[in-house]
A and B are shown apart, each in its own frame.
Chain A
Amino acid sequence: MSQLATQAPAVAAPRSPRSRRTTRTNYELYGWVFMRASGVVLLVLIFGHLFMNLIDGEGINAIDFGFVAGKWASPLWQVWDLLMLWLAMIHGTNGVRTIINDYAERTGTRVVLKSALYLSFVVVVVLGTLVIFTFDPCPAGSPADLLPSFCEA
């Protein structure tokens, strides 16, 4: 009896569907929605930024250290530029991540490219955020004609 069982012919395994590592999260969904929402917000932010810097008032000739320092002394422009920085960086990084996923076939290539991408994301976002919040509009010992008007000698 037991011999019968042991001598049973090896049956070929049924055609097994490729194992696809299932990811039961909503990350890709949120990413997809974020790209669309941030895209709309970025349109407003970027064109508002371009208008204020290049067209409004004296136009492009007004841009100098004083102009930028004056803007960043105002909470509105701090928030505006911070939002623009973060949204643009996340939007762009997610887009490039998608492109890497689409075009880099080898796992090694994908890991290297994405690591470089995330590293540059961190560097740019950290540096940009630091600049916006720690910016000194009136550095000591600078000629007064280069500084914004509210600086005291």
Chain B
Amino acid sequence: MAQTNEIAPETGSAEGTPGGTDEREPQAADASGGAGAVPSFDVTLRIRRFDPDADEPEAYWEEFTVTAYGTDRVLDAMHKVKWEVDGSLTFRRSCAHGICGSDAMRINGRNRLACKTLLKDLDPSKPITIEPIKGLPVIKDLVVDMEPFFASYREIMPFLITGGNAPSAERIQSPEQRERYDDTTKCILCAACTSSCPVFWTDGQYFGPAAIVNAHRFIFDSRDEGGAQRLEILNDKEGVWRCRTVFNCTEACPRGIEVTKAIQEVKRAMITRAF
């Protein structure tokens, strides 16, 4: 019934964004101007590039200006650059919906998922800086070597440890027991927390918030019997005691996990065990 509106690709139908003509974007009065029109604007991405195959590999900044829409995320703008402007731009993304944890990057100085950050929330009138997450070796552009991160993750044994015979039916757990570690089950291993931690930045020896969060998920699981081993591992010189409660991890977590609180709970479990 409506006239043919110009709709951004991948942004869904016009009904999906009622009242899309936002007053904040004066450029919104595009040719079509219907009730469902999505405002468009130009946005500049300032991206930290690194090409390992260059003659003298050195990181540098490069700016791209693309037209984006009010419903676009940072990832959409980066796709536009990669698909239409410079195909050599390299970054990770898999599901593009905030679940796989592939596209954590440092956007305007804060670790976020490019697929969960709307351009309009970042003040698109200024260039948006995009860097790889810190503390891990850069392989190319925004792709970092995640191996040290996953090595720490493996070290805390992120799997159910039990003794005796497996029950014939499910392992029963009450809603309260499940609630105890619910927060830390949300982790998607994007490394936004670990790579926002200043202690991790210094030498990368610290286990990092993500490994501790995933240990917490099993330590406080009533069905798991490996708690003592995991606490022993995290009691390491480079374990939970290196946490300075800076809260960068809690702020960075795209899943809203209270990371610092989880680390403190693991510390408390160790103290009550030791005394």
A residues in contact (CB < 8 Å) with B: 15, 17-18, 20-24, 26-33, 101-103, 105
- Give CA–CA (A121, B180) in the complex, Å: 44
8 A Cβ contacts from B147-161 to A:
147-148, 151, 154-155
Contact B151 A24 (CB under 8 A): no
Contact B203 A105 (CB under 8 A): yes
Please name 4 further chain A to chain B contacts, defined as beta carbons within 8 Å, in addition to the given A22-B233, A23-B236, A102-B202, sorted by A numbering: A17-B154, A29-B241, A103-B202, A105-B203
- Give CA–CA (A27, B274) in the complex, Å: 11
8 A Cβ contacts from B205-219 to A:
205
Shortest A31–chain B CB gap in Å is 7
Contact A29 B274 (CB under 8 A): yes
Contact B235 A26 (CB under 8 A): yes
- Contact among A21, A27, A31, A102 for B244, CB-based, below 8 A: A102
Confirm or deny: B258 has a beta carbon within 8 angstroms of a beta carbon on chain A. no
User: Closest residue to A104 on the B side, CB-wise?
Assistant: B202
Query: Counting chain B CB atoms within 10 Å of each CB, which of A20, A31, A32 scores highest?
Result: A20
- Contact among A15, A24, A33 for B271, CB-based, below 8 A: A33
Confirm or deny: B238 has a beta carbon within 8 angstroms of a beta carbon on chain A. yes
8 A Cβ contacts from B173-222 to A:
198-199, 202-203, 205
- Inside 8 A of A103's CB, which chain B residues have their CB? 202
Q: Can you report 30 A-B residue pairs in the complex whose CB atoms are below 8 A from each other? A: A17-B151, A17-B154, A17-B155, A18-B148, A18-B151, A20-B236, A20-B238, A21-B237, A22-B233, A22-B236, A23-B236, A23-B237, A24-B232, A24-B235, A27-B237, A28-B237, A28-B241, A29-B241, A30-B274, A32-B241, A32-B267, A33-B271, A101-B242, A102-B198, A102-B199, A102-B202, A102-B242, A102-B244, A105-B202, A105-B203
- Inside 8 A of A29's CB, which chain B residues have their CB? 235, 241, 270-271, 274
User: Closest residue to B205 on the A side, CB-wise?
Assistant: A20
- Give CA–CA (A17, B148) in the complex, Å: 8
- Inside 8 A of A31's CB, which chain B residues have their CB? 241
Confirm or deny: B239 has a beta carbon within 8 angstroms of a beta carbon on chain A. yes
- Inside 8 A of B267's CB, which chain A residues have their CB? 32
- Give CA–CA (A26, B267) in the complex, Å: 12
B residues in contact (CB < 8 Å) with A: 147-148, 151, 154-155, 198-199, 202-203, 205, 232-233, 235-239, 241-242, 244, 267, 270-271, 274
Query: Counting chain A CB atoms within 10 Å of each CB, which of B154, B241, B274 scores highest?
Result: B241
- Give CA–CA (A27, B239) in the complex, Å: 12
Shortest A134–chain B CB gap in Å is 37
3 closest A-B pairs by beta carbon, nearest first, are A28-B241, A17-B151, A23-B237
- Give CA–CA (A119, B240) in the complex, Å: 28
- Give CA–CA (A21, B233) in the complex, Å: 11
Shortest A24–chain B CB gap in Å is 7
- Inside 8 A of B270's CB, which chain A residues have their CB? 29
- Give CA–CA (A22, B238) in the complex, Å: 9
User: Closest residue to A22 on the B side, CB-wise?
Assistant: B236
- Give CA–CA (A152, B267) in the complex, Å: 58
- Give CA–CA (A27, B241) in the complex, Å: 10
Shortest A48–chain B CB gap in Å is 28
- Inside 8 A of B148's CB, which chain A residues have their CB? 18
Shortest A40–chain B CB gap in Å is 16
User: Closest residue to A110 on the B side, CB-wise?
Assistant: B203
Shortest A115–chain B CB gap in Å is 18
- Inside 8 A of A21's CB, which chain B residues have their CB? 237
- Give CA–CA (A102, B198) in the complex, Å: 9
Shortest A140–chain B CB gap in Å is 52
- Inside 8 A of A102's CB, which chain B residues have their CB? 198-199, 202, 242, 244
Are A28 and B271 also in contact (CB < 8 A) when A17-B151, A17-B154, A102-B199 are? no
- Inside 8 A of B202's CB, which chain A residues have their CB? 102-103, 105
